[in-house]
A = this chain, B = another copy of it.
Amino acid sequence: MTETGANLRGLRRHNRALLLGHILRAGGLSRVELAERSGLTQQAVSKIVADLLPERLLDVERQAAAGVGKPRTLLRLRADARCALGAQLDRDGFLVLRTGLTGEVEDLVEGSLPVGFGPQQAVDAVADAVRRLLGDVDPVRVLGLGVGAVGPLDHHQGRLRDATNMPGWHDVPLRDLLAERTGLPVILDKNTNAAAFAHSWPEETPAATAVVLVGTGIGVGLLIDGRVYRGPRTNAGEFGHTTIAYAGPHCACGRRGCVEVMHQTAATRHDAARLLGIGLADLVQVLDLERIVLFGRTIRAAPEVYRETVGQQLRDLLPVPYWQRIDLEVSDLDEEAVALGAAFEVLAGFYADPK
């Protein structure tokens, strides 16, 4: 529900977005099926589809008859009708990719950045990659650029905050810098949130999930009530500094015995995974999570250790009665998942309001 009054235009926009979303998730649907899934009448669907067709977002495909009666016509999204860009900034490099309207990766550019690179270098590198990726693409088809970066940052204002321990990165308006350079709408989000998108979009109502990014630090992207939860200051997910041993060793964050420092200083991988599991069990209980996805460089280095040890810890620590289940997954996405998720954020914006 929006907070403001709704009118007929908003009504149509809602239903139009609804139908496009159904077509996207199903891979292709007929008008009859759209009516069933959306709850609208067939006539309403026909009208909206007729409205959509001249915009060339859909492919119309005659379907072979599957029984008596006039065969259904399949409506598919044209993957090349629009495209989105996604980027990720890591400590020593960057990666930018282009996807079509349905989320397939079409092209990818990556490169390295010098140690201690500054904002200008980052903007230059990404903008250059964007230019290359858009070489022969009609500008009107480009929806925008999503950027996943290490937090803390302000998603609403598109600014990186000052906690990054690199010089020159104090309160940088990265979104606007990139928007100016590329001429594109830009979305800036934490890498954990982008990863959460990568692991859920375009599901209609993803399960309550924590996507745990274990790399240099430990953070989570939270999927709650069917969407990414960022919090009022868009800084949710600071899971790494959750206390699991309040009298434990000191961490750089100033606290003692947080998950991150315990994980870092653990004697073995198994121990590290066990401590991570303790923190995750807490998270599951507080948020009633259904699913945990482990992701990141450290996980990729030893997926089985983490899967088994964290899984065992969850089984040990959580009562898990018959009405409660936790699915633990190790991500099957590659390193570029953050860039992919960032592009998905751009796509999600389009599907929420397909102008």
Instruction: Tell me which residues across on chain B come within 8 A of A245, comparing CB atoms.
Output: 244-247, 257
Contacting residues, chain B, for A18 (C-beta < 8 A): 3-5
Q: Given the known A-B contacts A241-B285, A244-B244, A287-B231, are A3 and B205 also in contact in the complex, defined by CB atoms under 8 Å?
A: yes
Does A62 count as interface, using CB distance less than 8 angstroms? no
Number of interface residues of A (CB under 8 A): 68
Name the prevailing secondary structure of the A interface residues.
Answer: loop
CA gap between A288 and B230 in the complex, in Å: 8
Say how many copies of this protein the assembly contains: 2
Q: How far is the CA of A207 from the CA of B231 in the complex (A)?
A: 10
Contact present for B232 and A162 (CB under 8 Å): no
User: In the bound complex, do residue B235 and residue A204 qualify as a contact, i.e. CB atoms below 8 Å apart?
Assistant: no
Taking the complex as formed, is A167 at the interface, i.e. its CB lies under 8 A from any CB of chain B? no
Name A279's contact: one of B15, B243, B275, B279 (CB within 8 Å): B243
The verdict on A255 contacting chain B, using a C-beta distance below 8 Å, is yes
Within 8 A of B (CB), among A1-30: 1, 3-8, 10-11, 14-15, 17-18
Would you give the shortest CB distance from A43 to chain B, in whole angstroms?
12
- A3 to B253: give the CA distance in the assembly, Å: 41
Residues of A in contact with B (beta carbons under 8 Å apart):
1, 3-8, 10-11, 14-15, 17-18, 38-40, 44, 154, 161-163, 204-205, 207-208, 220, 224-225, 229-239, 241-247, 253-255, 257, 275, 278-279, 281-283, 285-290, 317, 319, 321, 323-324, 352
Q: Enumerate 13 A-B pairs (CB-CB under 8 Å) in ascending A order.
A: A1-B14, A3-B18, A5-B15, A5-B39, A5-B44, A231-B289, A233-B323, A242-B286, A244-B244, A244-B245, A246-B275, A254-B319, A286-B286
